[in-house]
Every structure is written in structure tokens, then in C-alpha cells.
Amino acid sequence: MVSRVIPVDPFDLVIFGGTGDLARRKILPGLFRRFCAGQMPKGARVIGAARGDMDSAAYRDFVAEAIAEFGGIHSCEEGTLAGFLERMEFVTIDARGDKGWDELAKLVRPDVVRAYYFSVGPSLFADLAHRLNAHGLTDADSRIVVEKPFGRDLPSAKALNRDLAMHFDESQIYRIDHYLGKETVQNLMAVRFGNMLFEPLWNSQYVDHIQITVAETVGVGGRGEYYDKSGAMRDMVQNHLMQLLCLIAMEPPSKFDPDAVRDEKLKVIRALDDVEPYHIVRGQYEASESEPGYREAVGDPRTRTESYIAMKVGISNWRWAGTPFYLRTGKMLKARSSEITVVFKELNHSIFGEQSDHRNVLSIRLQPNEGITLGVTIKEPGPGGMRLVDVPLDMSFAEALGADGADQTDAYERLIMDVIRGNQTLFMRGDEVEAAWAWTDPIINGWEARGEVPKTYDAGSEGPVDAVQLLARDTRVWRKVAP
Ligand code: BG6
């Protein structure tokens, strides 16, 4: 199998926040890998822009260090890094003042694709959009890329959408949810809509319930200040888990086209039921031997922000009414493991008489060990009658696809190239983001109004015990959180 590199047009990519953490860890190393893969054409340039004083030579050193630290293993020929660094420029810029804008206007070329990556806090989005426009740095083909969090509730998301819409058309705005750039997340669509096998069974008549788990082993680390204002609901559920839920629950779009896909996702979000307070479990991790507990990590012994959330969600439409979706995500859990599990119903009649609980389970592992396992029921070998046993049909993408399966393009590099190509399929549309907040807000407002305090859970565990109860009440069990 050969991985194909789709050529892109020459571009100028300006990264506001070009010396920030995201640029260092993800954007710049990702661009370098695209360069190595031959996808950055001659005439493609990257311009870092940030508040601090720095010249282009110092920026190139900064980029080289970022690549050394986060570039990953890649077979780039000698001299390639130097070739990449030649494409780098830097401008000191003030998002809220005039400093640097004339200089940037001189650097950016009007005859190539112009993309502006807002890798800064959302409070600067409106200023940047305004100044780009005021300094004549945009035309109808220019694009902006905006990072999460896109607002912290519906009113702030609406205000951001309004601010950006004053200067850019929706077709120019690329709202990043990096989960959509993950290879295996896109595979959800391939598995569902590229196979005849699953789709006829993909509904409440055959599916008992669906579990979506995004478990992390890391704590909040140095991001305590941001995280404590967000919590797992705003940081993960409103965006990443919501996107997974949409892809697993949506109707087949008529084609793989940005608006066709996003229209179907939007319908799922709009069909989500309100969530009952007793269908939500929130948690905070306790200290482990090596790491402080959540409250200590964020420096507030009385914080009520959750580092874990589990919830039961219903979708009121013809396909899914009656099939619950159980979502959970948390920090400092037993294993880093993201997976979606579709648990099918029991047979409506067994010709083998009473045999305890056999059912098909389809598990899609998003990370790590990307792959699919389908649990099928077969005869237990040997004499002694017709005894049934469940066995896994297990496929790891890395094994099935060889080197191409193992060498997965990072979400950011894929998404940045999609911006340059002008493909919005894997980006969130404004109405989608607003619909997600419209569903999320009453849930958060509810627990704030009731003054609910999260349960505690041990670091390295599978989360609070109450989460087990959430499913036990429905006579169901969570999948094990295992790598
Ligand atoms: C980010 C969240 O969007 O996603 C983080 O802000 C989280 O809190 C991260 O750790 C998880 O991403 P990934 O790609 O490591 O699963």
C-alpha cells in the first residue's frame, strides 16, 4: 500500500501564537513532517507571529528545537531540516495594537493561499480578524483557523461567531477539533459507510447500547488554571466526545462533502435529549504516589470542577430512540484508551435453549492499538453438547495495513493541509458548535445551581464507583479501561 500525498498550492501560513505551546508541540513538527513527505510545495512559507521580540533567525532556532523535541521519528534526508527552516519567517506583532502589522503585510504574498492560524486564546480572535482585514491581509480566498475552546457557553460562542462573521465568510473559517483529524476517527465513517455489513443493524432495533470512552492517564499537569475553568465537560465532552457521538450516530450523508457531513452531525446534536441529573457522574482524582490530586494540582482545595465525567445520553430520532449512549472521559485513569463499543442486543430466540448472555460486541479502538474487534458467538470445541462461547475477531490496523497502518499522520498535520486545500469536512461549522453548547449549557448550569460536588476517585483507577452504578442500574457494565 502506498500513502499518497495530495499536492497543495503554494501558501503563506501565518501562525499567531507562533512561539506558543501548541505551535511547538504540534503545528511546527507537523508541518515539518509534511515537508518531509513532500507535501509542502516550493513557495510554501510559514510565518510565526507573536508578541515577544525575536527575529527570523532566532525563530528558526526555536523551530529546530521544537522539531528535535516533538518531531517524531521520520526518515528525512540530511539537509532537509535546513530546507524547511529556510521557509520560516517571524514577525513581532501586537494583536491589540498596530505593531508589526505593516511588516506582516509586506511579507505575506497576495498571489498564494493565505491561511492565518489563531493559536491564541479566544479573547484575541476578534482583534486578529479585525486587524487582518484592516491591514488588507485578506481576500475572499484567505482562511482562518481557530483553536478550541470555541467559547465557554452558548452566548460566548455566538459572540465569537458573530465577530468572525464580520470579516470572514463561513467557508473561510476552520474551527479545529483535533479529534476529527485522527486517522481512526475518520475510520469510523469508513467502517460505517464503506461496509454493507454494519449499517443495516445500526439502529435501536439491533443495538442495545453504545459506549464511548476517552480515558487519559495524564493529570491536568501545568494546565491547571485553564482546566479548572473548563472541566471535563467543556474540555472534552462538548467537543471531542460530541464529535465521536455524531460520527457514530449520524445518518449516512449523501456524499463525503463538507456540508453534507456537517448537516448530518448537526441533526444528531439537535436530537440529543436533555440529560437527567442522576444520569451524570462527575469526579475528581485523588493524589497518587507521584502526582498531586486534582484540587492540589489546580491550587484550589474547594474547587468543584470535574476531571472525570460519565453520562447517559439519549437521542430522540427514529434510528436511536430507546438506545442509550454512555459517554465517559477522565484524567489520571488506569490506562490511556479511547474506544467506541457497540453492544448488540441478545438474540430474540435461541435455538440452543437457555444459554447465558451471548451478544455481539463491536469495539472500535481509536487509540492506542488502533483497530476493530468484533465479538462473535461460536460453539465451544469438544463433546458435551452445544455450548456457546464468545470469541473476538480481532484486527489491528497496524498489522492489517503494515507500515502504512503504523505510521499514522498526526491529526494536526492532516488538518493544516486540509486548510490549505480548502477542505472543511473535518472542521466544525458555526451552527454545529452553537448546537453543542446549547445542549451543554443547561447541564452545567444545573449542577452549578444545585451546588454539586464531584465524587473522588483514585488516581490510576477506572473512575468513581458511582459511574459503575450508572450502568448497573440499567443492568449493564462498562468495558474495562485497558490499554
Ligand atoms: C485536548 C484537551 O483538547 O485534548 C486535553 O484540552 C486532552 O485536556 C487532549 O488531554 C486529549 O487529546 P489526545 O489527542 O491526547 O487524545
pLDDT recorded at residue 176: 96
Q: Are strands 280-285 and 308-313 parallel, antiparallel or unpaired?
A: antiparallel
**Closest protein CA for atom 5 of ligand 1:** 235
Greatest Cα pair distance, the chain, in angstroms, is 84
21 pLDDT above the threshold of 70: yes
Grid cell at residue 201:
443493524
Taking alpha carbons only, the member of 408, 411, 419 closest to residue 8 is: 419
Please give the Cα distance from 152 to 11 (Å, whole number).
Answer: 32
Sequential DSSP letters for 379-437: EPSSSSS--EEEEEEEEEHHHHHTHHHHSPPPHHHHHHHHHHHT--TTSB-HHHHHHHH
Which atom of ligand 1 sits closest to the CA of residue 179?
14
Which atom of ligand 1 sits closest to the CA of residue 338?
16
AA letter at 47: I
Rounded distance from Cα 220 to ligand 1 centre (Å): 10
- What's the average model confidence in pLDDT over 213-239? 95
* Cβ pair 350, 377 in contact under 8 A: no
406 pLDDT above the threshold of 70: no
- Which value, in Å, is the radius of gyration of the alpha carbons in the chain? 24
Taking the CB of residue 342, how many other CB atoms lie within 10 A of it? Answer: 21
List phi, psi (to 5°) of 53.
Answer: -75, 130
Beta-bridge partners for 45: 12
pLDDT recorded at residue 80: 85
* Cβ pair 119, 147 in contact under 8 A: yes
The predicted model scores a pTM of 0.94
List phi, psi (to 5°) of 175.
Answer: -90, 115
> For 59-107, how does the pLDDT look when each residue is reduced to its tens digit (9 = 90+)?
999 999 999 998 875 556 667 889 999 999 999 999 999 999 999 999 9
**Closest protein CA for atom 2 of ligand 1:** 235
> For 184-202, how does the pLDDT look when each residue is reduced to its tens digit (9 = 90+)?
888 899 999 999 999 999 9
Rounded distance from Cα 216 to ligand 1 centre (Å): 8
Q: Tell the burial category of 354 from Cβ atoms under 10 Å away from its Cβ (0-12, 13-18, 19+).
A: exposed
What are the angstrom distances between the C-alpha of 246 and each of 43, 62, 271, 325, 437?
38, 39, 11, 11, 14
Please give the Cα distance from 206 to 200 (Å, whole number).
Answer: 9
Q: Give the residue, 154 or 396, on which the prediction is more confident.
A: 154
259 pLDDT above the threshold of 90: yes
**Closest protein CA for atom 8 of ligand 1:** 235
Q: What percent of the chain shows pLDDT beyond 90?
A: 83
Taking alpha carbons only, the member of 232, 379, 383 closest to residue 310 is: 232
Taking alpha carbons only, the member of 309, 336, 314 closest to residue 325 is: 314
AA letter at 131: R
3-state DSSP assignment of residue 208: strand
Rounded distance from Cα 236 to ligand 1 centre (Å): 7
Beta-bridge partners for 343: 209, 361
Rounded distance from Cα 365 to ligand 1 centre (Å): 16
Which atom of ligand 1 sits closest to the CA of residue 177?
3
Whole-number mean pLDDT of the chain? 93
Rounded distance from Cα 242 to ligand 1 centre (Å): 14
Task: Report the chain's terminal Cα–Cα distance, integer Å.
Answer: 27
Catalytic residues: 240
pLDDT recorded at residue 433: 98
pLDDT category at 1 given cuts 50, 70, 90 is very low
For the chain, the residue count is: 483
DSSP state of 333: B
- What's the average model confidence in pLDDT over 424-432? 97
pLDDT recorded at residue 423: 96
Please give the Cα distance from 205 to 226 (Å, whole number).
Answer: 42
pLDDT recorded at residue 459: 97
Which residues' Cβ are closer than 6 Å to ligand 1?
A: 148, 216, 235
**Closest protein CA for atom 15 of ligand 1:** 216
373 pLDDT above the threshold of 70: yes
**Closest protein CA for atom 9 of ligand 1:** 236
Q: What percent of the chain shows pLDDT beyond 70?
A: 97
Taking alpha carbons only, the member of 230, 32, 253 closest to residue 150 is: 230
Could you tell which of 146, 148, 178, 184 is best to mutate to test the pocket of ligand 1, judged by most ligand atoms within 8 Å of the CB?
178
- What's the average model confidence in pLDDT over 205-209? 98
> For 328-366, how does the pLDDT look when each residue is reduced to its tens digit (9 = 90+)?
999 999 999 999 999 999 998 888 887 778 999 999 999
Which atom of ligand 1 sits closest to the CA of residue 218?
10
pLDDT recorded at residue 407: 57
pLDDT recorded at residue 384: 81
pLDDT recorded at residue 71: 80
